[in-house]
Structure 1
């Protein structure tokens, strides 16, 4: 059972980070707005949870490599990824490998649902 006051890692992708790396606004259109992360963090902290901000998959990998995952009760994942057809499933896949509980869809569901053609193919084979 989880404690009332959780230590939560909030993994997110920031438009401004990718814009600073030279990507266009169009390249970053699928990413959440920069204003969303502070609001989510504040809401979690309002409920007496401790929040650690992790700005994307590469910083998450660094944190996992140095063993920081043992400090978290849960990962609140709003990372959308940036590369590849399974980009939204990359963070859940890492968290599953490390057996870290996280919010929202698992890696397989995220990978399937991001690619609408595969999703339609699967559902058409189930329905008929």
Structure 2
């Protein structure tokens, strides 16, 4: 599958006007967002864009009211004060301020892992079997239905926050207690044993292109928060696959992204079962990280777009 990018829509930094790089916020992913935001701000300014930092949605509203904002580069992560759950997007739509990335529908749906899975299953896309856990549900009975090993996680968090891998009945209660610290429903999901991969999606030429896949090889047992943002020994292989398998994962990721109503840019996380080679969709990230450890920049480099060029391309999604 060809992932070469077409020419940018503009080469004039003044075409964007004043750009608020929205970062930080109050979600559990605040520190990651601040790191991403600083990198994006520096990249845009290096290309001549009149960009400035804004920390959180209330400060953004103040800047908009003061007439200082022509468009928003959204690099807030998470929900409930983050920028990925559709609330920010609805606000900016109402205020008629253009912004990067997915709109209300794609943002809100993708932040809810359970409802994203329901959409994927309705159109025949593969995702691990699961059960929704409500307050007071018998988690041990649910685990017998899903089968061990399994994953328990908050339905509406990202960056591996609140996730546990459970291999036996003894670990269930602690896993549920951890996930329940976060708002929203809980998701119990079959654990796919195999390779963890991710596929970046970027608007290009009137549609979207799937960037080369990345296979993630953490030093530890799995790709947790520490492996994502702290450890220096996680390996990233790009492209993660070759031949027909690479074509297949990129096609599935692109279909998943568009089925969830997403647009602009994002990242689709996928597991590949070691025994069968089958792919299983996990989630869509509509405002992926842009830190030194982040994955979309690594994939973009494979098609000739350095970090500054990637930030420019993402900013173009607001035009």
Counterparts of residues 1-128 of structure 1 (less than 5 Å): 4-5=13-14, 6=16, 7-13=18-24, 28=28, 30-31=29-30, 32-64=32-64, 66-68=65-67, 71-83=68-80, 88-127=85-124
Number of residues of Structure 1 aligned to a counterpart in Structure 2: 112
Aligned partners of 1:102 and 1:95: how far apart in 2? 7
C-alpha distance after superposition, 1:57-112 (max 9, x if no partner): 12122233x342xx43321001125428x953222111111111111111210100
Task: Look up the SS of the partner of 1:9 in the other structure.
Answer: strand
Contact 2:23 2:33 (8 Å CA) reproduced:
no
Max Rg structure: 2
Contact 2:20 2:53 in 1 (8 A): yes
2:85 and 2:75 mapped to 1: Cα distance?
A: 9
Shift of 1:114: 1.0
Whether the 8 Å CA contact 1:79–1:88 is kept in 2: the answer is: no
By relative contact order (CA 8 Å, sep 6+), the higher-ranking structure is: 1
Q: CA separation in 1, counterparts of 2:47 and 2:84?
A: 30
Q: 1:4–1:33: structure 2 CA closer, same or farther, 3 Å change rule?
A: closer
SS of 1:34's equivalent in the other structure is: helix
5+ residue gaps in structure 1? 19-26
Q: By percentage of residues, which structure has more helix?
A: 1
> Are residues 122 and 82 of structure 1, via their aligned partners in 2, closer, same or farther at CA, if it must alter by over 3 Å?
closer
Q: Structure 1-normalised TM-score?
A: 0.71
Q: TM-score, normalised by structure 2?
A: 0.31
C-alpha displacement at 1:35, in angstroms? 2.8
